[in-house]
Amino acid sequence: MRCDVVAIGTELLLGQVIDTNSAHIGERLAANGIDSLLQIKVGDNLSRMISVLGQRIEQAEAVIVCGGLGPTHDDITREAIAAVMGAKLVEDEQVAETILHMFAARGRRMPMNNLRQAQVPVGATVIPQTRGTAPGLICPVGDSVIYAVPGVPHEMREMLERAILPDLRRRAGVDSVIVSRVIRTWGDSESGLGERLAGIIDELDEPGRPTLAFLASGWEGLKIRLTTRAATSGEGLAELDVWERRIVERIGSIVFGYDDDTMESVVIEMMRRRGLTLALAESVTGGLVAARLTEVPGVSDVLRGAVVSYATDVKVGLLDVPAGPVVSEQAATAMADHVRRLLGADVGLSLTGVAGPDRQDDEPPGTLWVGLAFGDSVEAHLVRLPGDRTQMRQFSVITALDALRHRLVTRTSPVTPRAIAER
């Protein structure tokens, strides 16, 4: 089954707003086994909208139209669809009432143009609105169908999952469900993981097995996504469990989480469960590790604070870093050890390195020393990272947090992320 996507809005053509909706819809359609072969942006112009919709519905069994459902005079998606259906627009009383209630509930007077949003082509079914004031529409055109959803991303996404994907699956005769799981890793490259998982990947290539995809995601790590189709979601998840277990057995130490886990949420949670507090000493990352950790709600149970020691004599004066090069093992261990004393934390984590573009202390850009003061041990690891100044700093954040994670899990040295440097 084929479902094309039309994004409505002159602001999209002018580049004032980036169309991210059609990419999201494309991803969700693919996950549900439905092809999306053309995705088009068109402005708020009735004749062009009618022409584009008419062409799409000739070539595809379904079309999703995003945007142009608001209350103002340039929101004309309803009119365009009605023209393609050859149907009249009539006011749907129930939709009108819902809109009136929404305004009343917020204690606001409803501008009358909001009732435009209650106009529905004869023969169309309403997708009730739960977040914004505009409902969605399911509009049959012969044996095909046009779905209309608002352009506001969270309204669109909710209607897509609740109404459109189930309807499309039904039409496509798909009575199965698609389930997926993301295994989140740090410490090896795509090609490195490909080699280590070679046998498993071959097995998964056989028809009817889950699919496996790698997705390099910068400082979010490298994701492995398993996707399968099954009669029920329980059955699908059970199948994914089996493959996940085999994968994790093979590459276990570099797996830091699943699905929506992030490196920072995982590390904070591990520290919290062990009742440990953390202090940071940041040089090359200039506060980026602290900034990222403090995005996690509830981090205040764990994080005591950070010292960003950008100037050398701040390292020396405040963190007792010994004289000599500051991008070094000695500096990293001194920073980690002294920051935990200074801030009264159980664990000290430090980063000193060269973001570039110039060398420093005779070290090339990409050099990172991560220091870790944990219990009686104070140690540091050297890592070579790729990328420009911004990327190097971002990779440093996840690399340092991963070093702490390894220490918490295994109490051994972290795996050197050898293969990051391949990228």
Write out the residues near a copy of itself by the rule CB under 8 A: 12-20, 22-28, 30, 36-43, 45, 48, 52, 215, 277, 280, 282, 285-291, 293-295, 297, 299-300, 303-311, 313-314, 317-318, 342-344, 357, 389-390, 393
Minimum distance of a copy of itself from residue 306's CB (angstroms): 4
Q: In terms of C-beta distances under 8 Å and separation of at least 24 residues, what long-range contacts does 359-366 make, across chains too?
A: 360/327, 361/325, 361/326, 361/327, 361/328, 362/325, 363/325, 363/327, 365/389, 365/392, 366/392, 366/421
Return the ∠ at Cα 180 (arms to 179 and 181), rounded to 5°: 140
CA distance 327 to 138: 62
Please state whether beta strands 125-127 and 136-141 pair in parallel, antiparallel, or not at all (unpaired). Answer: antiparallel
Choice between 241 and 259, CB closer to a copy of itself: 259
Minimum distance of a copy of itself from residue 154's CB (angstroms): 12
Minimum distance of a copy of itself from residue 232's CB (angstroms): 26
68 HSE (CA, 13 A, CB side): 28
CA quadruple 358, 361, 366, 372: dihedral positive or negative? negative
Minimum distance of a copy of itself from residue 66's CB (angstroms): 13
Token pair, residue 356, equals 């570039």
Choice between 318 and 415, CB closer to a copy of itself: 318
Contact status, residue 407 vs residue 414, Cβ threshold 8 Å: yes
Q: Distance between terminal CA atoms of the chain?
A: 37
Contact status, residue 384 vs residue 366, Cβ threshold 8 Å: yes
Token pair, residue 86, equals 């050859």
Choice between 184 and 340, CB closer to a copy of itself: 340
Choice between 90 and 291, CB closer to a copy of itself: 291
Minimum distance of a copy of itself from residue 353's CB (angstroms): 12
Ranges of H-type helices in 197-280 = 198-204, 233-251, 263-274
Contact status, residue 22 vs residue 5, Cβ threshold 8 Å: yes
Minimum distance of a copy of itself from residue 96's CB (angstroms): 29
Choice between 41 and 169, CB closer to a copy of itself: 41
Helix (H, G, I), strand (E, B) or coil at 258: strand
Choice between 189 and 309, CB closer to a copy of itself: 309
Choice between 71 and 286, CB closer to a copy of itself: 286
Minimum distance of a copy of itself from residue 318's CB (angstroms): 7
Minimum distance of a copy of itself from residue 343's CB (angstroms): 5
Residue 114: CB atoms within 10 A of its CB come to: 18
Choice between 98 and 309, CB closer to a copy of itself: 309
